[in-house]
Structure 1
Amino acid sequence: MAVLEREGNAFDAAVAAGFVLQVVEPHFNGPGGDVSIVAHRAGTEDAVAVCGQGPMPMAATPERFAELGLDQIPGSGLLPACVPGAMGAWLRLLAEFGTKRLAEVLAPAIGYAESGFPVLPEMARAIETMSPLFNTEWPSSAQVYLPHGAAPPAGSRFSNPMLAETYRRLLGEAEAASADREEQLGAAHRAFYEGFAAEAIDKFVSAGPVLDATGRRNPGLLTGQDLAGWRPEVDRALHQPYRGVDVFKPGPWSQGPVFAQQLALLEGFPLGD
């Protein structure tokens, strides 16, 4: 609402909310996660899909998993890590559909990360569940989410200064690159996917094996080169008419086509009865 009150459009507000969610819902969202976006501009008939689903690493081949003695990808640890698409997709949405500068849409997220926010019950439960693993296997996560050696209780004030600093550095490099809004957004993408963030991810993943769902310590496959080679695509969204309603979904990189097929099948059934 604050973005809309400052004459931002719906896309500006959505991007600001997306970054805030990375702070206040770290168990669901994060700069290392992904996002699928369907966007519709008023006055147009179609919608577009912004692909914030990064690909698997180039080294993630069947042969590589076979060398590790695995016939499926474990659900935790480093091996399932994909190129983090959320940051790039929010930046692309802002560049193509928004009107505000990066500083304006990042300000709320930076404020909450620095000054703190009340911990949601689900966040508290998630951190409590993960705390033994943080203490034994993920010390950097423990440093962030167990600031006093224990999970923060629901309703307590929690801050994430490291994440705030990441946002500030991203913004600083963007503003140092140019005074132009679009060029700043391009510089922010490069800072994350080719600069300091990509370098940190590459260094962390290559540091050594980590315990995962297999019960063993396996290495990661994601590299800085994987991040550098990715850009979020914007395509025409999948369109499926259904009983007078226009339904738009992302393409085959998502579950969208399956949903459209389900609607097409349901057309033949008298649901109204």
Structure 2
Amino acid sequence: MTISILGCGWLGLPLAENLRDSGHTVKGSTTSAEKLNLLRNKNITPFLLELTPQIECEECNDFWDSDLLVLNIPPGRGRDNIEEYHLQQINTVAEQLSGSPIDRLIFISSTSVYPPQPGIVAESDTEKGNAKRPSGNALLKAETLLMEQESFDTTIIRFGGLYGYDRNPAHFLAGRKNVSGGNAPINLIHRDDCIGIIDRIIDKDVRGEIFNGVSDGHPPKNMYYPAAAESLGLEPPSFDENEDKDKNYKVVSNRKLKELLDYRFTYPNPMDKLQLVES
């Protein structure tokens, strides 16, 4: 297949390399001119492309001449109108695809689309406008727009917190004191599993589905973050011991992904082999 990846960053670049190694022809976009040679040297056809929210790109017609697009553009931070702006970005891409050969889209979303409700949440447990943060509401609007398109089929993956290699969640809380939510379960996923899930969706030609991409294990914050910090020699965080230990917290279910894709995680529990997080 010929696959275009819009957004070759921390996840998109290694994904591009994996797809290239699997025999696909891969095209990748970046917003950095300095990164064009990096992509080219990895046998990934590079394109300098930015959504402002319109498509800003010279000589990019070939980027849209593919079988499938992986859309990996998160909502920008620090914008007052993040929901409207991100929807405009996604709509621009959808309009471009409607006149292109691309008939399959994989949209990288996030578990931030879910409302802050306790209990186990599955793919259907979303409420329009009720995500915890504006970025979650922005993604939910983008998901809805893409799933309504008739000129291409969309598959959505809602990834949890991303970790692996140079991204260790231990840094988020290291050394902090009296942190709240210590009993809250974490919903994380290793980058290798993100790539494995995308690869499986492509191979199985799955279309029109929404998946939660989170690991099997959901240890509480007050177990995971101190252990992760200690694995790096960092000062572990401490948590509020007076907090209600019986409070219910959100756990994101990956059951649909495992059953429909027959996927088994390389890193099923973030507590396992913590030293590999930065390897």
Q: Which has the larger radius of gyration?
A: 1
Judge same fold: TM > 0.5, yes or no: no
The structure richer in helix per residue is: 1
TM-score by length of 1: 0.29
TM-score by length of 2: 0.29
- Higher relative contact order by CA 8 Å / sep ≥ 6: 1 or 2? 1
The structure richer in strand per residue is: 2
